[in-house]
Amino acid sequence: MPPDGTGDSRPPLVLDHLAVTARTLDEGVDWVREMLGIEMPPGGSHPRMGTHNRLLALGPADFLEVIAVDPDAPTPDAGRWYGLDSFDDRPCIGTWILGTPDIAASLAHAHPDSGPAVEAIRGDLEWLISVPDDGSMPMQGAYPTLIQWPAGPLPVTRMQDRGCSLQGLTVRHPDADTIAARLKGQLHDPRVSFETGPVGLAATFQTPSGLRTLG
Q: What pTM does this model have?
A: 0.94
Residue 9 lies in a domain: no
State how far the Cα of 147 lies from the Cα of 131, in Å rounded to an integer: 10
Q: Which range of residues forms the domain containing residue 110?
A: 14-161
Q: CA geometry: angle at 75 spanning 147 and 47, to 5°?
A: 45
Residue 109 lies in a domain: yes
* Whole-number pLDDT of residue 192: 98
Instruction: Tell me whether residue 16 is exposed, middle or buried, using C-beta atoms within 10 angstroms of its C-beta: 0 to 12, 13 to 18, 19 or more.
Output: buried
State how far the Cα of 86 lies from the Cα of 67, in Å rounded to an integer: 14
Average pLDDT, the chain: 94
Nearest to 141 by CA among 13, 61, 21: 21
Specify whether the CB–CB gap between 142 and 182 falls below 8 A.
Answer: no
Q: How many domains does the chain fold into?
A: 1
Residue 88 lies in a domain: yes
Residue 195 lies in a domain: no
Residue 108 lies in a domain: yes
Residue 167 lies in a domain: no
Q: Residue 71 sits in a domain of what CATH number?
A: 3.10.180.10
Residues 71-99 pLDDT 10s: 999 999 999 999 999 999 999 999 999 99
* Whole-number pLDDT of residue 9: 79
